[in-house]
Structure 1
Amino acid sequence: ATVTVDGGSGNLTADQFSLVRQGGEDPDPGDSTRYEAESSPAVCSGTIDADHAGFSGSGFCNGDNADNAYAEFTVQASAAGTATLDLRFANGSSAARPADVIVNGSTVETASLPTTGSWTGWTTQTVTVQLDAGANTIRLDPTTANGLPNIDYLDVEQASG
């Protein structure tokens, strides 16, 4: 990828800049791929909203307030092995919204997904999982009737071999 930033004749200040591969292709180990919650191959049991500033992409998954209102991502892995999942979310409620992290049908962890103080207070929680080569299903399944926090995206980075 080639990126050119030109400030013209004036000053240019960049606060933050990053390049992130979007989902859909097999990444190389060590590369991070972003899967936005509002676009395929992600599935949101709820609505895709854009009313809380600070999200990435064109919106986020606002899951229904129910214990069966999940967010699901289909992610690609170039090889079987360890991967780091960075889940970006906002939880403006007064309590954690725990969710089972289910990879290819097996629960690997229950993530607490704590309150972030506001619905615009986006944060990231990291989980390490094992992926199969090829397509993998990663599902966030709330464990209470409060449902999930708002889910922005899932960054997946396979370990370098």
Structure 2
Amino acid sequence: MRTQITLPVTADWNSWSTYTARIPLNAGTNTLAYVYGSGDSGHVNLDSLTIAPPPPPMLVLEAEDAALSSGAIALNDHPGYSGRGFVAGYWNSGATTAFTLQASTAGTYSATLKYSNGSGSAQTVSMMLNGVRTQITLPATADWNSWSTYTARIPLNAGTNTLAYVYGSGDSGHVNLDSLTIAP
């Protein structure tokens, strides 16, 4: 398959730039060639080629499918959620939504929580990662039908991890949780 590409202009022949493209590769041996062909403007110097695996995919977990306890309940009475619903009940002290995460390698990941907070003011909940508590603040959304996201960078161990959102001691609660997206 032939694809014509346009390489960016550099300041002069001593300056280098990079061009990145996503290409499908088959298992086994593949041939990739850069060819000066009909219709090409050419006049470039090529230095090297790097083939890298694609980034690991994002993992999207629905809150209503997580382990719910202490008054956390799955509902679907506000639009805009993903999946089958969202988790409410964060007016109950101790309400917990616990996600089990599998990480193939240890490292720092983004954990993006989709939430609604129609209370009119910022609310706090505890984020418990493998038993370690961090209080997070979720800014108000326009109303209970509006959703926003909160992203934290979290260290995951290789293997099984637990990330829970808890209405704990010192938290104000009163939020709805829709989903959690984990990405490298």
TM-score (norm 2): 0.64
* More strand per residue: 1
Contact 1:97–1:142 (8 Å) recurs in 2: no
Rg comparison, structure with higher value? 2
- Partner of residue 127, structure 1: 152
Q: Secondary structure at the match of 2:138?
A: coil
Return the offset for 1:145.
Answer: 6.4
Over residues 12-40 of structure 1, what are the superposed CA-to-partner deviations in whole Å (9 max), with x where a residue is unaligned?
xxxxxxxxxxxxxxxx954210010111x
Counterparts of 1:133 and 1:145, CA distance in 2: 30
Return the offset for 1:95.
Answer: 2.1
Contact 1:44–1:63 (8 Å) recurs in 2: no
Counterparts of 1:78 and 1:29, CA distance in 2: 13
Over residues 46-84 of structure 1, what are the superposed CA-to-partner deviations in whole Å (9 max), with x where a residue is unaligned?
211011000000000012413311211111111111110
Percent of aligned pairs with the same residue?
A: 36
- Partner of residue 102, structure 1: 128
User: Does 1:72 pair with 2:98?
Assistant: yes
- Partner of residue 59, structure 1: 85
Contact 1:75–1:138 (8 Å) recurs in 2: yes
Q: Secondary structure at the match of 1:112?
A: strand
- Partner of residue 138, structure 1: 163
Matches within 5 A, 1:9-158: 30-39=56-65, 42-45=66-69, 46-107=72-133, 109-143=134-168, 144=170, 146-158=172-184
Unpaired runs of 5+ in structure 1?
1-27
Counterparts of 2:102 and 2:143, CA distance in 1: 32
Q: State the one-letter code of the partner of 1:130.
A: P
Contact 2:110–2:154 (8 Å) recurs in 1: yes
Question: How many positions carry a matched residue from both structures?
Answer: 128
Counterparts of 2:153 and 2:64, CA distance in 1: 23
Contact 1:78–1:134 (8 Å) recurs in 2: yes
Counterparts of 1:94 and 1:64, CA distance in 2: 15
Q: State the one-letter code of the partner of 2:162.
A: T
